[in-house]
Amino acid sequence: QLRGGGSRTLAYVVLDATNPFFTDVARGVQEAADAAGLALFLCNSGEDRERQAAYLDLLEQQRVEGVLITPVDAADPRIGALAARGTPVVVVDRAAGPGHCSVTVDDLLGGDLAVTHLLDSGHRRIAFVGGPRTIGQVRDRITGAERAVARAGTGELTVLETARLDVAQGRRAGERIAGLPAARRPTAAFCANDLLALGLLQQMVRLGLRVPEDLAIVGYDDIEFAEAAAVPLTSVAQPRHRLGRTAAELLLAEARSPDGHEHQQVVFAPELVVRASTGLGP
Ligand code: RIB
């Protein structure tokens, strides 16, 4: 029994609607909402805390059945407060405290898979491109990458921190890499997401450098554009659709029986998809 008097609606507050990763997560949410006969409100915080707060207020006034959120700040106290006032909340793609269900992907493993692949392909000077480090996923992907280097006992990982995870920042990282003397330039880059990797790839081509011959590139997420790139991108695939679907199912279970509900932290495993940007695959 879902709560009465409400709008028979779920909401997903997305962090960045310009990132196709979130479109795919939202498709999974929508599928679960459709199956339960609920409508879905999609809200875009655009990484803006104030806008996110305004949406949370509005959704509570609208008495939605529950809120899925990829928060700007995983520790935002407004999220716990909303749940405490009786609106079920599930945190998507960011770790949450024990007060909520959450659905995430093992980013330590993802970083490890990416860099192990580069080391196995013979690379020793590897750049990590991504940031800011305030994002837990970024930190975990770096730690996973470092773990792979430590285990191999060879290779060197240099972190090129970016201000955001977008195409423009990928292009800027490309300028920095191309500007290094050839003897110090990394031969491979592991990017914290595909948008960065696509920007990096574009900048390498613009500057007359070849991918993968001059720089092998691995992205993260495996969005549809990764395969469609001029040099198809090797990427660490996240189960985007399943993330969304599972999160929505957890939310619906909590909305139906809030009393007997036990919060769950679901963690999926990522998978490496090898393509031409690291010299293998189609
Ligand atoms: O912050 C956005 C990023 O986090 C996405 O590109 C995806 O990697 C997610 O985990």
What are 154-183's pLDDT values in tens digits? 999 999 999 999 999 999 999 999 999 989
- Residue 48 sits in a domain whose CATH number is 3.40.50.2300
Q: CA 218 from chain center: how many Å?
A: 15
**Which of the two residues, 44 and 8, has the higher pLDDT score?**
44
Q: Which domain holds residue 248?
A: 9-105+239-269
Report the pLDDT value the prediction gives residue 76, as an integer from 0 to 100: 87
Residue 53 domain-assigned (yes or no): yes
> Residue 54: what residue type?
A
Residue 85 domain-assigned (yes or no): yes
Return the axis-axis angle of helices 20-35 and 240-256, rounded to nearest 10°. Answer: 40
Q: Is the pLDDT of residue 4 over 90?
A: no
Q: 19 CB less than 6 Å from ligand 1? A: yes
Distance CA 176, CA 127 (A): 11
How many domains are there within the chain? 2
Shared domain for 156 and 140, answered yes or no, is: yes
Residue 251 domain-assigned (yes or no): yes
Instruction: With beta carbons less than 8 A apart as the criterion, state whether 229 and 72 touch.
Output: no
Overall size of the chain counted in residues? 282
What Cα–Cα distance (Å) separates residue 92 from each residue in 8, 29, 61, 105, 265? 21, 10, 22, 10, 10
Distance CA 228, CA 185 (A): 27
Residue 233 domain-assigned (yes or no): yes
The model's pLDDT over 199-255, given as tens digits with 9 standing for 90+, comes to 999 999 999 999 999 999 999 999 999 999 999 999 999 999 999 999 999 999 999
Report the pLDDT value the prediction gives residue 99, as an integer from 0 to 100: 81
Report the pLDDT value the prediction gives residue 75, as an integer from 0 to 100: 83
Q: 52 CB less than 6 Å from ligand 1? A: no
Cβ-count burial of 47 within 10 angstroms (0-12 exposed, 13-18 middle, 19+ buried)? middle
Shared domain for 138 and 49, answered yes or no, is: no
Residue 4 domain-assigned (yes or no): no
Task: State the average pLDDT over residues 64-86.
Answer: 92
Q: Percentage of the chain surpassing pLDDT 70?
A: 96
Strand, coil or helix: 92: strand
Shared domain for 60 and 170, answered yes or no, is: no
Residue 116 domain-assigned (yes or no): yes
Cis before 98 (ω within 30) = no
Shared domain for 211 and 117, answered yes or no, is: yes
Shared domain for 137 and 169, answered yes or no, is: yes
Residue 2 domain-assigned (yes or no): no
- Which residue lies with its CA nearest to atom 9 of ligand 1? 93
Shared domain for 115 and 185, answered yes or no, is: yes
Going by their DSSP bridges, the two strands 125-130 and 9-14 should be labelled as unpaired
CA of 193 relative to ligand 1 center, distance in Å: 6
| pTM (two decimals) | 0.94
Shared domain for 139 and 75, answered yes or no, is: no
What Cα–Cα distance (Å) separates residue 51 from each residue in 58, 63, 213, 221? 11, 18, 44, 26
Distance CA 46, CA 49 (A): 9
Shared domain for 228 and 112, answered yes or no, is: yes
CA of 138 relative to ligand 1 center, distance in Å: 9
Q: Is the pLDDT of residue 20 over 90?
A: yes
